[in-house]
Structure 1
Amino acid sequence: MSFGKDDKHAVQRGRRQAEEIINERNNDMAGVSIQKSYLLDSPPDVPRHKRDALGPKRPNGTLIAEGDSWFDYPRSDILTILGDRFGFEIETVARRGDKVEEMAYSKGQLYGFTQRIEAVIRRGDAPRAVLLSGGGNDIAGPELAYILDHADSPTPGLNKAVLEGVINERLRHSYLTIITALTSVCEERVGRRLPILVHGYDYAVPDGRGFMGGWGPLPGPWLEPSFREKGYSPGQARRRLVRELIDSFNYMLENLTSSTTMSHVIYVNLRNSLNNDPSEYKKWWANELHPTPSGFLLVASRFAEAIKRGDNAT
């Protein structure tokens, strides 16, 4: 797959952003010396029984993550499980609620990402892989209403032109920009490309459930209000349209990562990981957008498998 003019512009934008961040970090660190008055005579120690209670040192390397609520969810998320259950050390700048556009075009997460890489290198380690999660906040919530045509209109369903613009232009270019920026930072700081894992979510159920009943740090619901606004009754029509939306997003990511220039980028297909059968789905889906702890465990296992595949991707 070859890149078009807009794709190439997104790649160039990502490289410029990485260069700007690297220059900022180099300037921030230039001439900085640690104040001797703050140096420790010996590092502080933790009693052995306290260390033993936390288990052995995590043996599977360090992951650096940037993303949204699938990486930053209260109590249990993909990163927490990859650390606790699969033995990875985790460095993360993920923030629930962030959009891919924000990750791509504002430099906050990229600056923090660069700091995390530097911290890992200073410890004498090299990151094993980079994990990137995003897109749900770009197509759910109020944004979904703009993609849906009214149920009583001549063309009910997902508006093909709007969907094309959102998925295959806006999100594609955002992903190209952030992937290129992350790749460039890794090449500069680590001296080589690192595997970058991306994913496209699973088939959510638009049943109107938000986080903890619709309050707290992630209130929701994110899907049902738009369907109700556009005249869609609860049932299979809503589920079918969510499936089409998730498929479109996954097809974009799969296509994007098939480019020879993206050989280090691993697409993790999470579709059909979580059962969304009407009689079973609440066991796996905590609300409209997020898995239960059991669901996150299934998803994290898919990531663990992909991380292993990624060892040979660069």
Structure 2
Amino acid sequence: MTRIDLDELNAMLSDPKIPESALRPYLMLDPIESQGFRPQVVPNPATVVYDETEAAVALASLNGVSRWRRQMLYRQKIKHWAGLRVVEEGDSWFQYPFLIEDVVDHLFVPWAIYSCSGAGDLLSDMARQDEVIAAVVAERPDVVLLSGGGNDLLGDGRLARYLKPHAAGMSAADHVTDAFNDLMASIIEIYRDLIGKTLSAGARRVVCHSYDYAIPNGGPWLGRPMIKLGITDRQLQRDIIRILIDRFHVALTAMVSGFSGSVVVADCRGTVADNEWFDELHPTSFGFGKVARIIRAKAEGVEVEGLESSYLEAVEASRPLPVADVGAVEALLVADEATLIAEIGRRSEILQYAPDADKCYSLQLPAGSGEESVASFFSEVGTKVFDRWHRELYKLLCGDGGDAAGERDKLRSALKLEQAALIGAISTALIAIAVPVFIAPLVAAVIVKSGINPAWEVTCKVWGEKMDGSAATDALPDSPAH
């Protein structure tokens, strides 16, 4: 990918018509400043030329830029809008800037949404700023969406303050202190006050939501605080988080029951699959899409099953890329094949000595190739690994019958997807045939970049011709059905 300068990035950011997916290759999470429900986005030095002083002045808050872009799009949309009008206020489940399609991103098409959210906001911040109240008065929405409490309970490593150190024989519930219950009670009171003000300002209907059962994976917000307390068993960790999420949902539901039906809670628990989490606190774009669908159904008073789901149509024939936001793989499409092959080799070697690396969600390619001899070694290893899985994928796509028929049909149907989504579909198929999660997206990217035809029969014919005769023969004991 050709690197751009900061002026070019600013010009793109200043044009709301440029989709955020086109901006993602130029942005990344700040690994130092990002905290829990407060992700901080900065220019990606691999794709943007800048110095730190220049970036600090020119891009003081990309989170703020993201919200400004939303508000500009809202102003354009509302001029000729006859559909549902919405005001939303919340944390990073409603505003995860640029890198993930969050709940509000998914609801932007069916609704006209005025956004007040700020990644990292506490409920007390929302109540003190009163921004949502002013927006309700000015915009006169049909629905107000609120997302809050997660940052108050789990952000910035707070979890360790509300759990007891582990001792033999302790159940998951035994680890939760009274301090957590006291904090939750104070959060619910802030929620109650904020909702009351929102209704007084003229809101007709308010929709809150519970969070889903996040998965501790050794990260700084859930896993590490637990490990410091001696809570190392993965299932015990998950059981503790489930208790906290359930208690929050019960308290939230009890509180809104006092508002005579004008306030409802969208129950998002059990919605996001294990492989649909971007990190310990946020789903992937696909996972957020599922959450958005539940919230939308609650807001519109319909059953989830009967709600059309445009954001799922592109992946209806296949599961999403489990390891990250599908949009993030767009950067892989501009990398040259040699770089991808070498990275496949590097990651394969890492897995030999650190098997847990297969849980890594990063798709970031290294900034440089390093020593020439090392790069050559990785390329050699990567070529062997790629060739192996390339052949296995050929067998899956171009074979006929067998135990993998279901996966084969999904993959064949997915060939009509655009390239970034197709990488996700192929990655999922590769993982189903035992390709490590750490490697699968890179193998998929090389395959997609080499060209793949929406008509799978054509793909199989060309693909088979590129391989040696024995591979094609092994792969196709019977001719594919046409």
What is the CA-CA distance between 1:195 and the residue it aligns to? 0.6
Q: 1:292 aligned to 2:284?
A: yes
Q: Of 197, 202, 205, which aligns to 2:215?
A: 205
Partner SS, residue 70 of structure 1: coil
Specify the code of the residue in structure 1 equivalent to 2:263: V
Partner SS for 1:197: strand
Could you tell me how far 1:263 is from its partner in structure 2? 2.1
From 109, 121, 144, the counterpart of 1:130:
144
Specify the alignment match of 1:152 in structure 2: 167
Decide which of 176, 179, 183 is 2:192's aligned counterpart: 176
1:301 and 2:324 matched: no
Alignment of 1:108-123 (within 5 A): 108=129, 110=130, 112-120=131-139
SS at the partner of 1:238?
A: helix
Which ranges in structure 2 are unaligned for 5 or more consecutive residues? 1-76, 303-482
State the partner residue of 2:106.
Answer: 81
Which of residues 70, 84, 94 is equivalent to 1:61? 84
Secondary structure in 1 matching 2:280: coil
User: For residue 132 of structure 2, what is the amino acid of its counterpart?
Assistant: F
The amino acid across from 2:297 in the alignment is E
CA contact (8 A) 2:87 2:136 kept: yes
Q: Cα distance, 1:208 vs. partner? A: 2.9
Say whether residues 1:96 and 2:119 are aligned partners.
yes
Q: Is the 8 A contact 1:149 1:155 kept in 2?
A: no
Q: 1:73 offset after TM fit, Å?
A: 0.6
Alpha-carbon distance in structure 2 between the residues aligned to 1:208 and 1:199: 26
> Which residue of structure 2 aligns with residue 34 of structure 1?
none
- Which has a greater percent of helix? 2
Residue in 1 aligned with 2:443? none
Decide which structure has the larger Cα Rg and report it.
Answer: 2
Q: Does the 8 Å CA contact 1:58/1:88 hold for their aligned counterparts? A: no
Unaligned stretches of 5+ residues in structure 1? 1-53, 121-125, 187-192, 210-220, 276-280
**Matched position secondary structure for 1:206:** coil
Q: Distance in 2 between matches of 1:307 and 1:183?
A: 15
Q: Which amino acid aligns with 2:264?
A: I
The aligned counterpart of 1:143 is: 158
Distance 1:233 1:82, change over 3 A: same
Secondary structure of the structure 2 residue equivalent to 1:198: strand
Q: How far 1:103 sits from its partner (Å)? A: 2.1
- Tell me the distance in 2 between the aligned counterparts of 1:251 and 1:148: 19
Contact 2:206 2:263 in 1 (8 A): yes
For CA contacts below 8 A with separation 6 or more, give which structure has more relative contact order. Answer: 1
Q: What is the identity, as a one-letter code, of the residue corresponding to 1:290?
A: H
Assess, with a 3 A threshold, how the Cα gap between structure 1 residues 146 and 80 changes in structure 2: closer, same or farther.
same
CA contact (8 A) 1:77 1:293 kept: yes
Partner AA of 2:133 in structure 1: T
Q: Within 2, Cα distance between the matches of 1:240 and 1:63?
A: 35
Percent identity of paired positions between Structure 1 and Structure 2? 29
- 1:59, 1:88 within 8 Å by CA — same for their partners in 2? no
Q: Which amino acid aligns with 1:150?
A: P
Do the aligned partners of 2:136 and 2:198 also contact (CA within 8 Å) in 1? Answer: no
